[in-house]
Amino acid sequence: MMILACYGRSLVLHGRILRALRLHCVENLVLASDPDREGEAIAWHILEMLQQQDALGENVTVARVVFHEITEASIKSALQMPREIDVNLVHAYLARRALDYLIGFNISPLLWRKLPGCQSAGRVQSAALSLICDRETEIDEFKPLEYWTIEVQLKFEESNTVVKDASFPAHLTHFSSKKLGQFSITSETEAKDVQQKIKLENFKVINSKRNTTRRNPPAPYITSTLQQEAANRLNFPATYTMKLAQKLYEGIQLSDGEATGLITYSRTDGLHISDEAVKDIRSSVTERYGPRFTPENACKYYKKVKNAQEAHEAIRPTNIRRLPSMLAGALDEDSLKLYTLIWSRTMACQMEPAITEQMQLEIGNCDESAIFRSSCSRVEFLGYQSAYQDDESETIGFKDNEVNRYAETFGILSSLKKGDRLYLGEVETKQHHTQTPPRYSEGSLVKKLEELGIGRPSTYASTLKVLRDRNYMTVKNRVLYPEFRGRMVSAFLSDHFSEVNDYSFTADMETELDNVSAGLTEWKGLLRDYWARFSSYCSRAASVHIHQVEKMLEKTFGDFLFASLPNKSRTCPSCMEGTLIFKVSRFGAGYFIGCDQHPKCKYIAKSLYGDEEDGESPQKNNNIEEPKLLGLHPGTNEKIFLKSGPYGHYVQLGENRTGYQPKRSSVSHIKNMDSITLEDALELLRYPVTLGEHPKDGHPVILKLARIGFAVRHRRTTDPVPKGMKPKDVTIEKALELLSSKDVRRSGRPKNKPKVEEEEEYI
Q: Mind telling me the catalytic residues?
A: 265
Residues 229 and 222: beta-carbon distance below 8 Å: no
Q: What angle do CA 245, 123, 44 make, to 5 degrees?
A: 70
Tell me how far the alpha carbon of residue 350 is from its chain's centroid: 33
| Residue 216 CA: distances (Å) to CA of 219, 387, 444 | 9, 13, 22
Helix ranges (DSSP H) in 235-314? 238-250, 275-289
Residues 65 and 81: beta-carbon distance below 8 Å: yes
What amino acid is encoded at 673 in this protein? M
Residues 188 and 281: beta-carbon distance below 8 Å: no
Q: Beta 178-179 vs 473-476: how paired, if at all?
A: unpaired
**475 closest CA partner among 526, 439, 438, 501:** 439
* 246: three-class secondary structure by DSSP: helix
Strand locations in 22-92 (E): 28-31, 61-64
**310 closest CA partner among 458, 513, 473, 453:** 458
Q: Which residues pair with 581 in a beta bridge?
A: 594
Tally Cβ neighbours within 10 Å of residue 635.
7
Q: Each residue of 362-376: b (16+ CB within 10 Å) or e? A: bbbbeeeebbbebbb
Rounded distance, CA 160 to CA 303, Å? 55
* 19: three-class secondary structure by DSSP: helix
**41 closest CA partner among 78, 3, 1, 11:** 11
Contacts 24+ apart (CB under 8 A), 718-727: 718/744, 718/745, 718/746, 718/747, 719/743, 719/744, 719/745, 727/687, 727/703
Rounded distance, CA 464 to CA 472, Å? 10
Cis-peptide into 688, omega within 30 deg:
yes
Q: What is the 3-state secondary structure (H, E, C) of 120-164?
A: CCCHHHHHHHHHHHHHHHHHHHCCCCEEEEEEEEEEECCCCCCCC
Q: Beta 28-31 vs 61-64: how paired, if at all?
A: parallel
Rounded distance, CA 584 to CA 19, Å? 56
Exposed / middle / buried, residue 292 (Cβ in 10 Å: 0-12, 13-18, 19+) = exposed
Helix ranges (DSSP H) in 470-620? 484-496, 498-501, 503-517, 523-542, 546-556, 558-562
Rounded distance, CA 306 to CA 270, Å? 11
Residues 130 and 494: beta-carbon distance below 8 Å: yes
Exposed / middle / buried, residue 532 (Cβ in 10 Å: 0-12, 13-18, 19+) = exposed
Residues 422 and 158: beta-carbon distance below 8 Å: no
**Phi (first) and psi of residue 45, to 5 degrees:** -60, -45
Q: What is the 3-state secondary structure (H, E, C) of 166-228?
A: CEEEEEEEEECCEECCCCCCCCHHHHHHHHHHHCCCCEEEEEEEEEEEEECCCCCECHHHHHH
| Residue 469 CA: distances (Å) to CA of 91, 120, 189 | 31, 11, 52
Compute, in degrees rounded to 10, the torsion defined by CA atoms 540, 543, 549, 555: -50
What amino acid is encoded at 509 in this protein? M
